[in-house]
Structure 1
Amino acid sequence: MHIGQLARPAFKLQLLAASAAIAWQPATAQDAPPAGVPVAAEDEETIVITGTSRARAAFDTPLAVSTLNDEALARLGSSSQADILNSIPTIKADAGGGEVASNVFIRGLPSGGQFQFTPLMYDGLPVFSSFGLNSSAYDVYYRNDLGIERLEFVRGGVSNLFGPGSVAGLINYISRTGGDRHTGTVQLEVAERDRYRGDIAISGPLGGNFYYALSGFYRSDEGPIRTGLDTEGFQVRGNLQYRFDDGSGFVALYGQYIDDKTQFYLPVPLDGTTRARAPGNDGRDVFSVQNNFSFADLGFNTPDGPFESDIADGVSTQGGSVALVFERDFGGGWGVNLRARYADYDHKFGLWSDGDGLINVPETLQSFLTNRGLGSLANARFTFADDGSAMPADYLLFANRFTDRDRPAEDVTVEVNVTKELTTGSLEHTFTIGGFWGNATARDVNVTTTYLAEFNNRPRLVDLVITNPNTGAQTVISQGGLLNAGAGYVNNRHSVSRYAAYVADQIEADRFAFDIGFRIERFEGDILRERTSTFVTDTTTPDLAAALRDVIWGNGTFQQARVATSEWAVAVGALYRLTDDLNIYANASRGYFFPEIRAVTFNALGQPASFSAEIIKQAEVGIRYSSGRFSASLAGLYTRLTNRRQVLFVNDGQGGFREQVNIVATEAYGLEATLRARLIGGLYFEGNLTLQDHKYTAFDTAPANIGNELERQPNFLYNAGLYYDDGQLDAAIFTNYTGDNFTAANNAIVLEGFNVVNLDAGYRFGLGGERSLRFGINVFNLFDTDATTEGSPRQDANQTTGGAFFVGRPVLPRRITGRLTFNF
């Protein structure tokens, strides 16, 4: 039996229309920002549609706005979503895990990682309407491709009122849509360590006011780190859009289908002093302790039958989404926007851990025995599981775990709003009244397996038999590499319904803009969690240790609960134009986050803990300048979060895991600056800087942490780059700096700051008309920086320093990619 048999199979969307497109902006909002530089510094030409009732220039909005055009996305997205988001001010994103499950940290907010404060959207529709049904990130469901026109990240003002809502910011990727002529791009990509990828994006008219856009990719990759566990899959997205003759709006069908698997890397043992990669038994530096083992040999019996791991599939996603959007201006200033989306995914997340939950670092043969009370090496026989040969006495062992996590998910999102434009005196108003509804359900079935292996790249499994020196009796500790059968089991089903209503007014005058809005929302969640027991599942194999004979498994009884709460948000923003090139702005908001439903705990009577929203208050005041050659901004930031239910996935001390919940409060101050300057001809400089000071102001489980800085949140971030494009030759060299930060809230371990430098260059050949061919090269991590992005989150405050090893996740190594791009 595989883990997929434990959960209800999700309905497979086999006949999805391969389409996705712009969700609700008017046609005037589809002009792409100028090419050449990655982050539009909120100039007059950049039109923003995210978090606003109507499209408007970024320079003239009291929101904080960052945008990336398609050229920038191509440069930045060399390894993951994190590489893109890292370029945005106030965001720190960890990319060491590979293509998916990026850990995204927003200015001064306490996150366990991933997208806990920032909904990920495509074309104005959230990838998933509610976060926290399990611990999978939004980006496991979607991949970027050539069909993306730009990215908008907005925060402040009324941006937290629309759609899924978030005071911390909305990440919205906007797709290309069809125009009056057929255009397209085909790209072939080859990278070191056997990565091959093909992309296509085409769009154009179909006649009769119908337009289409279609994009997709297929790629095969042995990984930036070779493990024998390959990445392979594809995605198709597109849209079919009908535009009304009078230009008043459109009706569109959007969709996406994905069938993909990708590997995910966790922290590994590093040198305890330098935190550089440590040598394995063969003398080579260890980049990963994963391997494509014979997982049938690591299977075991359960009360429901034999279990065999699917961990070799990595993070796999199959399924997709369809959406319908209607937008129309009915005249007289009245307009309607309707968006509805249905998504259904079969999703598994194969999680390789960073230790066995007991010792967590490599051990000598004798220390392995001593640490587990197994006696002397003279009475132990260590052999390699594949051929039975004896393991050398001077080799190191590394006991580790992996967790099969089966997470089918289903989601429905509907949003409708009505707008009314009117003029009162010198003021132009855009009133919006609307509602948002989301209903999401996800399973979370986890099975943890502990194994024994050597300490090497792509290690071999190890068997261990202990002989009692007095009686001669033998005990099998590890068999086929299996050290603990069924070390942990979880079977949860969480569902959430959200009902929100909002009203907003965007006011424009000659030199003044003012936004005000209000949102109220109801959250209802249902919890179903299976209890566990220990079962004896092997009574015939002689001499088995208890950890091989027994398994922790579901016993068929369940904890059930229903939680519900309501909250409100209010936001205001104002902007004053001092000159045509200079303005000042401010925004303030009182908002909320609903706790992750997976964080709900039960007391001894089986009753759920109180469930109330987390309140966030923030303010920002800034100044912007933009001219033809130069633009810049400077802003001061304040954020306060209370009643935060912080969820950490940590070791339980017995070889399994538990979700630790801390009730915390935080406060942060910050300074953000951006600068773009055209130096000469097609040469630009682009950069941004974030300074922040943050601390815990409450911490229920560890009061000593009050006053400490937030874990994994640096005080200093910057991006800087030079970009050149003369129409034929383009080149860019840019760096992202992450400052010093702490591994855990106790502030005991500091990770040093580091730069990751990237290079991108290409040459275009004109082929007549709109056709061109570009030969390009991209180098991720140009100088092969070997910094540590995080410690061991599963050890949390229990991780220490001073030993021979330190468990941490390094930056991914340098990788060179060649690209051939044909535009037509």
Structure 2
Amino acid sequence: MKKSILRACASAVALAAAASIAAPTFAQDAAAPADSEETGLDEIVVTASGRDKSRLDSSVSVTSVDAELVDAFKPSSEAEVFRMIPGIQVPGTSGPGGNSNIAVRGLPVATGGSPFVQIQEDGLPVVLFGDIQFGNNDYWTRFDASVERVESVRGGGSTTFASQAPGAVINYISHTGKKEGGFVSLSKGVNYDETKVDFRYGGPINDTLRFHLGGQFKTGRGPLGADFNVSDSIQVKGNVTQDIADGNGYFRLLFKVADTQEPNYTGAPALATLSGNKISNVQPFPGFDGRNSSNYSIYNRDFLIYNRTGQLERVEMSGISTKQTQLGGQLHYEFDGGVTVDNNFRWSKLSGSFASPFLNVRRAAGIVGSTVNGQVVGSIRYASGPNAGQVFTGTYVDDNVNVRTNIRDLGSLANDLTIAGKFALGAFDLTARGGFFYMNQDIAMDWHVNKSLREVSGNNPSQLDLYNTAGARMTVEGISGYNNNWGNCCARDYDLSYTNTAPYAALELDSDDFAIDGSVRFENIKASGGGRTGGAEFNVNSNGVLIPTMTANGASEVLDYSRNYVSWTAGALWKANSNTSLFVRASRGGRFNGDRQTFGGKIASNGALCTGAMAAAGTMGCSADGVTPSVDFVKQYELGLKNRGDLAGGRYTVEITALKGNFKQSTFELSATRCPGGSGGCVIDARYKSYGAEFYGTYNNGGFTLVGNATWTKATRSGVGSGGTPTPFTRAPYMPDLVYTVQANYDILDAATLGLNVTGQTSIIDDAGRQYPGGAVVGVNLRVMPLSNIELGIQGYNVFNRYDLRGSGNIADGSTSPIVLGTGPALGRTWTASVKYSF
């Protein structure tokens, strides 16, 4: 196994322990956010908040999902963890590597990533921007045994207590060893090849010192049946906490090391019926069932790129790979007189790669006889596999890219300092907070987007080579171009840096019956660095074939600008009684458009943002306004109810929030299917409006537990017409009106647990307005405890093996009956067995 990771873990533990032992004498019972003994609506909110209010008494929409609930649900990716949170809308079909489109409250993702949702670990962002191109925030986070719970705040505090998160914050909160104990569990795929080991252990070292260590190891070919290991990951996280002598605080050191490789699934073809604009009766494509297969292939397990040093290099088709080292520290101290200081620091070293065979199905007719790279195509032949050299006569081909992006550096340095004071004013308590956030985010990458051709198959598809009319080979291993698939836009090489500073302030007036609050955040982002796009094409001799090639020697772009903006929120809470509260809130939050602003004609030759006037005049290399779209603003309005009580001999909680929001966005899009004229690489400008409601509820009665969430929204979109004027608002593409997850468990005499879960959504439309059916998948789990510390389990996902569409869709061939689609289905039926030893 990865010995460097294990050595790093040992070193970090030793460093943390030594630092804590060397600290002054401390006491036992300081308040710490993790390992909380409070549950339900009494749980203290620690995410994007003042860290001193329960969920019931907070005038924000906040949800906490504990580790036991996630473990029973057995999510197949981080996206499915997010589907357990109301307000978060994510397809969950991209695979365990990440690269999900994470929307919130009906505010869609215009291109990719999570532009308005920030993922945090222990209160600090894993990366500053959620939609970094080939570096989305879900690449870098894994739910493992070290996590105590996942807490999410939508709207409200996410606007002013975090940067770049006007929609929501999702915070992975670690165990800290308040309670001694742990476990080791082994999970094994029954009808697929995957092995996963989760472990954690923690507890007090002495009266004032405690620790926790946890992590995960995972390997296998995955549920979509690749014939080589697409998963090969290890992650270890730990912390040591020293409580302060007077009982007023703590100091904590944290570390994380990870070396992960997980697949990125890009969809599958399917057959369907088209009636008008309505698609129905979706069925698997012959030879390629997206429920249990993908276009990962042993014949495309590695491929050639033209690298940044001017050499042909063979790289692995390794999905999304990350290497992470993180060190952090937290300080919490409560002074006499009601003054509290909190500081949270983290240094991160992140790197990795993105390598994936994108999928696009088209008819093969017309390729023979066409001109490619200056030659007429005479035939298509198998480049590999059992049919190598034979003429290809199939009806369809996959002509999308082999892409490799080297993530050279995505490291960061972050610190968040808050000082709060609480003062009695007669019948009211006044709390004042001031803070300062700093984060420097590096983004250094080089892109390699090859023109590729392969057969359409879910069973080790072969690459396809083109031959000219004289019988000479025109392509190599199915590749007809290095780095040039999307033109000179995307043969990129850049090294950028963004520094975000943000002072913020909040006031809250609290009484027995009412509370009002307001906060403001002053953002400044400084952009620096630069890069180049592709230059003129040239030929490279690859195994005796001249292949057109691009490299990043084209026009350079330099960044040297800063941008300031203000975010705010205000809210009020009525404490109707000890079991009921109602709140209202309004907020406006900004989100800086980072690397997606580059190489689109929006940066002037001197590094400044282009103004509209400069773009109209074409001065200093400007072709588009860069100032206006550099910050996307989200406005949200909320009305919420929280209630708990007794029902039929059990206890329930209900949280309902009515919401309305709107935003505008300008961002760079890679996908040819979303760009005018079908060319990859374009800037999309759009406005969005949404209204709806989100729900989260729980019910406990004896051994029966029921947890459910739902998000209902009406999302609309307005684009830009041919004359530059906004188009009318119409239904937003790829956004279901309803997304829901329900989970029920029943404990039988503390000896067994039987569980059932359902996750689903209603229909979506594509960019052309065609409607795709909604649906749901059902999961089951059974856990048996033959001994008090041994648990045996069997979990089933999508037990009815439904072909459930969740992701984006498009018509690949509408000339046949049934038609051929490009789809993003949920995983098919999978069974996983597990054994867990607790101690």
Is 1:809 the counterpart of 2:807? The answer is no
Superposed displacement of residue 186, structure 1: 0.9
CA deviation profile, 1:233-281 (whole Å, cap 9, x unmatched): 2011000111112211111111100011111110222225344221139
Say which of 568, 587, 599 aligns to 1:570: 568
Is the contact made by 1:647 and 1:662 (CA closer than 8 Å) also made in structure 2? yes
Alignment of 1:779-818 (within 5 A): 779-791=796-808, 801=814, 803=816, 804-818=819-833
Q: After TM superposition, list the pairs within 5 Å mapping 1:171-250 onto structure 2.
A: 171-179=170-178, 182-191=180-189, 192-207=191-206, 209-230=208-229, 231-250=231-250
Match 2:523 to one of 521, 524, 542: 521
Q: Which has the higher mean CA deviation after the structures are superposed, 509-518 or 648-657?
A: 648-657
Task: Determine whether 1:136 maps to 2:154.
Answer: no
- In structure 1, distance between residues paired with 2:589 and 2:676: 39
Is the Cα–Cα contact under 8 Å of residues 270 and 807 in structure 1 kept in the other structure? yes
The code of the aligned residue for 1:790 comes to: G
Structure 2 counterpart of 1:615: 633
Residue in structure 2 matched with residue 161 of structure 1 by the alignment: 160
1:385 Cα offset (Å)? 3.5
SS in 2 for 1:56: coil
The alpha carbon displacement at 1:535 in A equals 4.1
Give the AA of the match of 1:278: F
- Contact kept in structure 2, 1:95 and 1:812, CA below 8 Å: no
Deviations 1:489-538 (A, max 9, x none): 21122211111011112332112122211111111112512132234334
Q: Measured at CA, do residues 477 and 671 of structure 1 come closer, stay the same or move farther in structure 2, by a change above 3 Å?
A: same
Counterpart residue identity of residue 176, structure 1: H
User: Residue 229 of structure 1: CA displacement?
Assistant: 4.1
Q: Is the 1:370–1:376 Cα contact (8 Å) retained in structure 2?
A: no
* CA distances 1:668-693 after superposition (whole Å, capped 9, x unpaired): 11122333333x42213332332211
Which residue in the other structure is 1:470 paired with? none
User: Using a 3 Å threshold, how does the CA distance of structure 1 residues 655 and 526 change in structure 2: closer, same or farther?
Assistant: farther
Post-superposition offset of 1:749:
2.1
Q: Distance in 2 between matches of 1:654 and 1:108?
A: 24
- Structure-1 residue corresponding to 2:313: 308
2:566 maps to amino acid? W
Matched, 1:79 2:76: yes
TM-score w.r.t. the length of structure 1 is 0.87
Query: Residues 74 and 795 of structure 2 are in contact (CA less than 8 Å); yes or no, is this contact kept in structure 1?
Result: no
In structure 2, the partner of 1:330 is 335
TM-score, scaled relative to structure 2: 0.86
What pairs up with 1:649-728 in 2 under 5 angstroms?
649-651=670-672, 658-678=680-700, 680-697=701-718, 699=720, 705-726=727-748, 727-728=750-751
Which deviations, in whole Å up to 9, do the C-alpha atoms of 1:676-735 show, x marking residues without a partner? 333x42213332332211212453668675311222211122222322225332222121
Contiguous gaps of at least 5 residues in structure 2: 1-6, 18-28, 274-280, 486-490, 603-617
Hey, what's the Cα distance between the residues in 2 that align with 1:697 and 1:728? 55
Q: SS in structure 2 opposite 1:110? A: coil
Q: CA deviation at 1:760?
A: 2.1
Shift of 1:594: 1.1
1:664/1:250 CA distance change after superposition, 3 Å: same
Question: Secondary structure, in 3 states, of the residue corresponding to 1:361?
Answer: strand
Cα distance change, pair 392–621 in 1 and its aligned pair in 2 (3 A): closer
The CA deviation string for residues 142-191 of structure 1, in whole angstroms up to 9 with x for no partner, is 21211111111112333421233523111011111122x63111111111
SS in 2 for 1:290: coil
Residue 343 in structure 1 maps to residue 348 in structure 2: yes
Q: Report the Cα distance in structure 2 between the residues aligned to 1:499 and 1:441, rounded to whole angstroms.
A: 15
> CA 1:371/1:689 → structure 2, altered by over 3 Å: closer, same or farther?
farther
Equivalent in the alignment of 1:550: 548
Q: Distance in 1 between matches of 2:456 and 2:691?
A: 44
1:93 to 78, 90, 94: 90
Which residue matches 1:461? 463
- CA distance in structure 2 between the aligned counterparts of 1:209 and 1:631, rounded to whole angstroms: 35
- Supply the distance in 2 between the matched residues of 1:534 and 1:419 (Cα, whole angstroms): 58
- 1:37 matched to which residue of 2? none
Residue matched to 1:27: 31
Distance change in 2, residues 1:31/1:56 (3 Å): farther
After TM superposition, give the deviation of residue 431 of structure 1 in Å: 1.3
1:295: how far off? 6.1
Moved more, 153-162 or 287-296: 287-296
Q: 1:177 to 1:376 in 2, by over 3 A?
A: closer
Alignment partner, residue 278 of structure 2: none
- 8 Å Cα contact 2:115-2:129 kept in structure 1: no
Deviations 1:639-671 (A, max 9, x none): 0213x2143222299999743222222211112
Deviations 1:272-318, CA, capped at 9 Å, x for gaps: 5344221139x99983222133666x436679443234242221111
Specify the alignment match of 1:414 in structure 2.
415
Cα deviation digits, residues 165-218 of structure 1 (max 9, x gap): 523111011111122x63111111111312111111010122362211001111
Q: 1:497 aligns with which of 483, 496, 499?
A: 499
Provide the rounded CA distance (Å) in 2 between the counterparts of 1:461 and 1:655: 27
With 726-735 and 255-264 compared, the bigger mean Cα shift is at 726-735
Cα distance change of structure 1 residues 421 and 165 upon mapping to structure 2, 3 Å threshold:
farther
Whole-Å Cα distance in 2 between the matches of residues 200 and 573 of structure 1? 41
Give me the whole-angstrom Cα distance separating, in 1, the residues matched to 2:540 and 2:641: 70
Q: Pick the aligned partner of 1:530 from 532, 553, 563.
A: 532
**Structure 1 CA distance for aligned equivalents of residues 359 and 677 of structure 2:** 12
Counterpart for residue 9 of structure 1:
none
Q: Specify which of 760, 767, 785 is matched with residue 737 of structure 1.
A: 760
Structure 1 unaligned runs (5+)? 1-11, 35-39, 468-472
Shift of residue 477 of structure 1? 2.7
Counterparts of 2:587 and 2:502, CA distance in 1: 17
Q: Does 1:17 align with 2:3?
A: no
Q: Structure 2 vs 1, CA of residues 303 and 811 (structure 1 numbering), >3 Å: closer, same or farther?
A: closer
- Kept in 2, the 8 Å contact 1:369–1:376? The answer is no
Matches within 5 A, 1:767-786: 767=788, 772-786=789-803
Distance in 1, Cα, partners of 2:712 & 2:370 = 44
Aligned residue number for residue 479 of structure 1: 476
For 1:113 and 1:421, the matched residues in 2 are separated by 42
Give yes or no for contact 1:301–1:537 (8 Å, CA) kept in 2.
no
- 1:595 paired residue among 593, 596, 603: 593
Please report how far the alpha carbon of residue 16 of structure 1 lies from its aligned counterpart in structure 2 after TM superposition.
6.1
Is residue 53–residue 506 contact of structure 1 (8 Å, CA) maintained in 2?
no
* Aligned residues of 1:736 and 1:756 also touching (Cα < 8 A): yes
Q: Given residue 450 of structure 2, which amino acid in structure 1 is its aligned partner?
A: T
Cα contact 2:742–2:758 (8 A) shared by 1: yes
In structure 2, what is the equivalent of residue 293 of structure 1? Answer: 299
Distance apart, 1:753 and its partner CA: 0.8
Across the two proteins, how many residue pairs are aligned to each other?
773
Judged with a 3 Å threshold, the aligned counterparts in structure 2 of structure 1 residues 660 and 585 are, in CA distance, closer, same or farther, namely same
Change in Cα spacing, 1:158 to 1:619, as seen in structure 2 (3 Å) is same
Q: Is the 8 A contact 1:31 1:47 kept in 2?
A: no
1:751 aligns with 2:768: no
**1:441 touches 1:493 (CA, 8 Å); kept in 2?**
yes
Matches within 5 A, 1:375-390: 379-380=378-379, 382-386=381-385, 388-390=388-390
Q: Distance in 1 between matches of 2:260 and 2:338?
A: 45
Distance in 2 (CA, whole Å) between partners of 1:302 and 1:514 is 57
CA deviation after TM superposition for structure 1 residue 372, in Å: 5.3
In the alignment, the residues of structure 1 paired with residue 717 and residue 354 of structure 2 have an alpha-carbon distance, to the nearest angstrom, of 32
C-alpha contact 1:757 1:783 (8 A) present in aligned 2: yes
d(CA) in 2 for partners of 1:285, 1:200? 30
The Cα RMSD (Å) is 3.2
Tell me the distance in 2 between the aligned counterparts of 1:722 and 1:324: 38
SS in 2 for 1:534: coil
Equivalent residue for 1:632, pick from 654, 657, 669 = 654
Asked whether the 8 Å contact 1:411–1:439 carries over to 2, the reply is yes
* 1:443, distance to aligned residue in structure 2 (A): 1.3
